[in-house]
Amino acid sequence: MADTDGSLRERKRRETWQALRSAAITLVSERGLDGVSVDEIAAAANVSKRTLFNYFSSKEDLIFGPDPAEPARLAAIAEARPADEPIWDSLREILLGYVNGYPAKLALHKRLLAASPGLAAHYGSSTAVVESTIRQWVSTRLSGDDDPLQPALLVGAALTVLRAAFAVWQPDEGFDQLAALVRDGFDRVGGGLGGPPSR
């Protein structure tokens, strides 16, 4: 019974977290970060302001804070890649799987960062989870390799592609364009940056 109670409690915590994040994304997308109060976000999620602060420390955390389910989701995407797939191809598909799971959040992040560059520090907290999970997967995949430079280069290059694609992407172009930029970036880096663009 204790396990069932614990699972139910955890599910309810997850549902409350998700309701608050969804309410924040919806309201901030409509009115901007400064045009929404934490009281309004709490009301939209049908919880008290006190409950909101049990989950999030600020409005910025509501928008940019890492999703507690994100590491497990990203790890599952990574583990689903075929063992004989070239690791650079796997990294591309893992990061594409990641971005495809968060279209509304990433579009809002991009718009908020363009309007308020000072929010970049908050954005870093969300990408740190991605970086940590990717590093762990690459380390496991290359566990028999004695070369410490190879995993560092792979992770650094893959994340640089993702960041560069996000930096040049314009949300008004549509979310598919972000995925296209990620693919293009992986093709360019994989083929050597001195070559012509792949598109």
Judged by DSSP in three states, 62 sits in helix
Residue 68: predicted pLDDT? 86
Q: Phi and psi (nearest 5°) for 122?
A: -70, -40
CATH class, range 2-58: mainly alpha
How many CB atoms neighbour CB 134 within 10 A? 23
pLDDT category at 3 given cuts 50, 70, 90 is: low
| More confident call, 166 vs 124 | 166
Q: Distance between CA atoms of 93 and 82, rounded to whole angstroms?
A: 11
Could you read off the pLDDT of 128-153 as tens digits, one per residue? Answer: 888 888 999 999 998 877 788 888 99
Judged by DSSP in three states, 144 sits in coil
Distance of CA 66 to the CA centre of its chain: 8
How many CB atoms neighbour CB 98 within 10 A? 20
Could you read off the pLDDT of 33-52 as tens digits, one per residue? Answer: 889 999 999 999 999 999 99
Domain ranges of the chain: 2-58, 70-191
Cβ neighbourhood burial of 71 (10 Å; 0-12, 13-18, 19+):
middle
Distance of CA 111 to the CA centre of its chain: 15
Helix extents (H) in 80-174: 87-100, 103-115, 120-141, 149-168
Residue 198: predicted pLDDT? 45
Residue 125 tokens, joined: 């907290």
Could you read off the pLDDT of 70-108 as tens digits, one per residue? Answer: 888 999 999 999 999 999 999 999 999 998 988 888 888
Residue 5: predicted pLDDT? 65
Residue 18 tokens, joined: 């998700």
Long-range Cβ contacts of 18-22 (<8 Å, 24+ apart): 19/45, 19/46, 19/47, 20/45, 20/47, 20/52, 20/55, 20/56, 20/62, 21/62, 21/67
Answer for the pair 134, 158: CB distance below 8 angstroms, yes or no.
Answer: yes
Could you read off the pLDDT of 67-80 as tens digits, one per residue? Answer: 888 888 999 999 99
pLDDT category at 196 given cuts 50, 70, 90 is: very low
Q: Which CATH architecture has domain 70-191?
A: Orthogonal Bundle (1.10)
Q: Nearest 5 degrees, angle CA 101-CA 105-CA 106?
A: 85
Residue 92: predicted pLDDT? 96
Answer for the pair 157, 134: CB distance below 8 angstroms, yes or no.
Answer: no
Instruction: Tell whether the model's pLDDT for residue 113 goes beyond 90.
Output: no
Q: Distance between CA atoms of 157 and 104, rounded to whole angstroms?
A: 25
Instruction: Tell whether the model's pLDDT for residue 199 goes beyond 50.
Output: no
Could you read off the pLDDT of 17-30 as tens digits, one per residue? Answer: 999 999 999 999 89
